[in-house]
Each structure stands twice: as structure tokens, then as C-alpha cells.
Structure 1
Amino acid sequence: MTDDKLRVILADDHTVMRAGLVALLNAEPTIDIVAEADNGREAVDLVERLAPDVALLDLRMPVMDGVAATAEIVARGGTRVMILTTYDTDTEIERAVEAGAIGYLLKDATREQLVDAIHSAARGETVLAPRVAERLIAKMRRPTPVALTAREVDVLNAAADGLSNADIGRRLVIGEATVKTHLLRIFAKLDVSDRTHAVVVAMERGLLVRNGRQVER
């Protein structure tokens, strides 16, 4: 083994898959698979003993799963963790990233993609499969759910009826200054600047009760 080879451990509980990955990566002159594991606990122990550059972990394994193993390895420091799995759901991706995985690759990756990803991970660069990156970006772009308090809904309903701040105060038995405070909080939550837009946006999002029922989202 030459000094410029990346030292990698591989953890996957599927024996055939693991053997295939070992054969594929050992054929790469810049990578050396220094150990294999069939569960997350064993992977953590191997990292502590061998201090590899990269730990390539499956997500779902017995004894300890890939997320828990990632968290322990990252807490130890030194070894970068890359997830290699078939799962691309939002929950799985988020758990792995939150645990500290620097990469998340799917098992349909090509040999070249896998090798490049291992090298990038070793350099401290984030590596995400295109499908995984798309899912994360899409999730980030989703609007954050907004919740209005019961009193804010009362105020907005009264505003939708065309009442002035003073009239809203009389209907709800609160001061006019309190009405203004509620409206300002509503505007901030809905990212609007006036009551008309607040009513429209609240109805679109199903936050406003009209005619005795809540408008569905």
C-alpha cells in the first residue's frame, strides 16, 4: 500500500453487496479497503482501532444502524462518514445529515461516482447524490407551516367582516391597541403588509374560519 492511498472501512450487512463493493473499490489504485463490518457497532469499533480516512456505511444495519454509527464516528473526529444506501426518503436523508454524514450516495451510483465521492469526502467536501440533493432543496423551498392563535383568528375574521380596529375591539372586548398588536403579529406570520392580503393568504392556507367552518388547505 502506498502512502497516498485513502484508507476506507466499509460497513454493510448484505454480504454479497459488501463483497462486490470491496472488489470494486480495491481495484481502484487510490483506495485501500482496510476493514469490513456487517453492522454499525463493528464499524465504530473498527474506526476507533484503525482511524481510516473514510467510513462508508450502509444506512440500515443490525445491532447499530448507520445513523447511530455515524454520530459516534463523527463525535470521535478524524474519520469522514459517507452513507451508501438504497434509501432516499426525506427522513432517512435528514437523520444521516444531522448525525454528521458528509456524504449521502445511493447504491445505483457508478464506480467513478463512488470513487470521486470517497475522495471528495476525505477532503471534507459534502457529497450528495443528485436525487438526494433535489429532495433536500425541494424540502427547503417548502413554506414553513404557519399557525395563528385562536385570538388571532378571531381578529382576522372580524377584519374579514370589514370591521375597523375599534369595532373589532368592541366585538372581542379588547382594547384597540391590542387589536393592532394582533394584526401586526398576523402580518408578520403571513408575510403580508395589510389586512386584505392577510385575509386572502389565511384563507388560501386554510387558517381562517369563515361561515362557521375552516377553509381546507
Structure 2
Amino acid sequence: MPDESPGGAPGAVPGAGSAKLIIVDDHPSVTESITLRLLDAGFAVLPPVTDVEDIDWALAPDVAICDLRLLPGLSWGGAIRHLSSHGCRVLAMSGVATPEQVLDAIEQGARGFVEKTSVPAEFVSAVAAVVEGHHHVSARLAGYVLEDVRRRPLADGELGPVELGVVRAFAQGDSAAEAARRAGLPEAELHALLARVFEVVRRRRRDRRYRLTTREREVVRLVGHLGMTRHEAARELRVSEDRVSDLLAGVRDKYVACHPGESRNLAPLSAAIRWANELGILP
């Protein structure tokens, strides 16, 4: 974490120069201000871009600080996935993003969220956490997570009292060190806990976004559980075989989206069988 000089300005971050950062934003005044903050902290900052598709990957940026509300080419969700696919860690930033947009950014793989208006010390601390391979939880992000939990209660085993206590500490404005002390955790355990929190947030949002429709569940039951052929399922549902194939393709796409690392070449029938087993679909 950065040292702070009098007045709250961040000092140099140990090891900062070993990571290359790139800023994705279309406001020159913003990129100039952020670049100066990061250079003062000792980071190596590449020339900013206004679109992730403009990044020269030969420069091998390690971390991208990405505005959620611009991205004229890819959608911002696609942009985060694009950055991650190149091995680039993402810190999302915005001054106007909605709670859903911020949480969606986490779902797509961002390792944290920071407001553009954050004081320099907080901004640099957020970047330092992501550079070190950890996660950053701002008070605003923590508040969004807690509100999401309030509106959509947790399932058994998702987040326990310790995890929720840490998120509440961040929501109250605690730093990572303060949250760790409050929870009685060593710093390494705090980082592992935050990784679990982010994974739960991502899984909950993926599951909700890619929940099977009633028709898709029927196809999973018939084909994945009962072992019917497409022809038999089409006759049972009184639709065409092409419609059953389309439904199975949708089932496969949702399965892959909900299971990061799963091959996009997964056969639709295999996806239907796996969904049937995971969801406990009965005859």
C-alpha cells in the first residue's frame, strides 16, 4: 500500500514500477489527472486510449483502469472480458455508473471499483491492490453488495458472518488494513476472503442473468434427464426439431456463461445433462 505524505497525498508504492498500467477513458482532463497521480506513486503508465480495441497489446499492460460509461466499440461488459482475455487485470472506475452497472462490471471480471472523484491516496491504493493481484472494495461498491444481499437474500453457504462483517467495514469507509484488524484477520486471509466475496457476487449475478426459462427447463428435463432424442422432445413439446435445437443451443450458451473456464465447444446435449444433474431436475 502507498505511503502517505502530509495532506493525504500518496507517496511511492513499493514495486510499482514493475507493473504497466493503461487508462481507458475519453476525457483528456481525466486521463491527465489520473496519469499524474499514478506517476507520482511510481507506476509505469502507458499512453491512454479511448477504446480497448485501440490498445497495442505488444506493450503488454498489466492493469487497465477502465471507465464504465464510454467504450464506444465493444459494450463495457465485452470490453472488460476483452481486457481479461489478454491477461490484463481491470479496475473499473466511473463518476456516474449505477449500482447495477458497477456490480455487472464485477461480474464480468473487474477486480474492483473506484470513483473518479476519489482522493489521490484512495485511488492509488485501489490501483496498488489490483497491481498486487488482489481486489479493491470501495465504500460505494461495498454498499452496493450489501444492498444486493438485502434485496436478494443469500443462499446457504454463500457469504457468512465474517465475510459480511468485512464488507460492512468497507461500507463504513474502513481501509483494507482497518477491515482486517476489525475482523481479526491477517492481511493474507483478508485478500482470500475478498476473493471469495467477489466470486460469490459474480456467481449470483451470472445465475440470475442466465437462469433457464420455463421452456429451456422442459428441454433439459426431457433431453438431459429422461434421455429423449430431439425428435421425441419436439413431439412431446409440440414444436419443431429445429426449435428444440435452438433451445438446446441456448441451454449450452447459458451453461458456459455460468461456468467460467468451460469450453464454448461444449455439446448442447452435454450441457443439458449437466444442467439436469446440477439443478436436480426431476421427471
Calculate the TM-score normalised by the size of structure 1: 0.58
Q: Do 2:16 and 2:44's aligned partners in 1 also have CA atoms closer than 8 Å?
A: no
Instruction: Give SS of 1:73's match.
Output: helix
Higher-helix-fraction structure:
2
What is the letter of the counterpart of residue 48 of structure 2?
E
- Aligned counterparts of 2:93 and 2:36: Cα–Cα separation in 1: 16
- Aligned counterparts of 1:39 and 1:56: Cα–Cα separation in 2: 12
Higher-strand-fraction structure:
1
Pick the aligned partner of 2:120 from 97, 103, 111: 111
Q: 1:119: Cα distance to partner?
A: 1.1
* Aligned residue in 1 for 2:92: 83
* Aligned residue in 2 for 1:33: 45
The verdict on how the C-alpha distance between 1:3 and 1:143 changes in structure 2, with shifts beyond 3 A counting, is: closer
The verdict on how the C-alpha distance between 1:34 and 1:3 changes in structure 2, with shifts beyond 3 A counting, is: farther
Where does 1:43-192 land on structure 2 (aligned, <5 Å)? 45-46=55-56, 48-61=57-70, 62-77=72-87, 79-143=88-152
Q: 1:128: Cα distance to partner?
A: 2.3
The verdict on how the C-alpha distance between 1:23 and 1:143 changes in structure 2, with shifts beyond 3 A counting, is: closer
- Aligned counterparts of 1:64 and 1:49: Cα–Cα separation in 2: 20
Question: Deviation per CA, 1:6-57, whole angstroms, max 9, x where unpaired?
Answer: 210011011211122112222222x111221012322xx33x2222221111
- Aligned counterparts of 1:86 and 1:106: Cα–Cα separation in 2: 6
Deviation >6 Å, runs of 4+? none
Question: Deviation per CA, 1:59-109, whole angstroms, max 9, x where unpaired?
Answer: 1222234332111111222x2100111134222012201110001111121
* Aligned residue in 2 for 1:24: 37
Q: 1:3: Cα distance to partner?
A: 7.3
Between Structure 1 and Structure 2, whose CA radius of gyration is higher? Answer: 1
Q: Does 1:13 align with 2:17?
A: no
What is the letter of the counterpart of residue 66 of structure 2?
L
Structure 1: runs of 5+ lacking an equivalent: 145-217
Q: How many residues align?
A: 138
What is the letter of the counterpart of residue 8 of structure 1?
L
What is the letter of the counterpart of residue 75 of structure 1?
S
* Aligned residue in 1 for 2:217: none
The verdict on how the C-alpha distance between 1:143 and 1:67 changes in structure 2, with shifts beyond 3 A counting, is: closer
Instruction: Give SS of 2:61's match.
Output: coil
- Aligned counterparts of 1:134 and 1:81: Cα–Cα separation in 2: 20
- Aligned counterparts of 2:86 and 2:66: Cα–Cα separation in 1: 16
Question: Deviation per CA, 1:119-173, whole angstroms, max 9, x where unpaired?
Answer: 11112211122012111111112245xxxxxxxxxxxxxxxxxxxxxxxxxxxxx
Instruction: Give SS of 2:144's match.
Output: helix
Q: Do 2:37 and 2:124's aligned partners in 1 also have CA atoms closer than 8 Å?
A: no
Percent of aligned positions that are identical: 24
CA RMSD of aligned residues (A): 2.0
What is the letter of the counterpart of residue 36 of structure 2?
A
Calculate the TM-score normalised by the size of structure 2: 0.45
Q: Do 1:102 and 1:127's aligned partners in 2 also have CA atoms closer than 8 Å?
A: yes
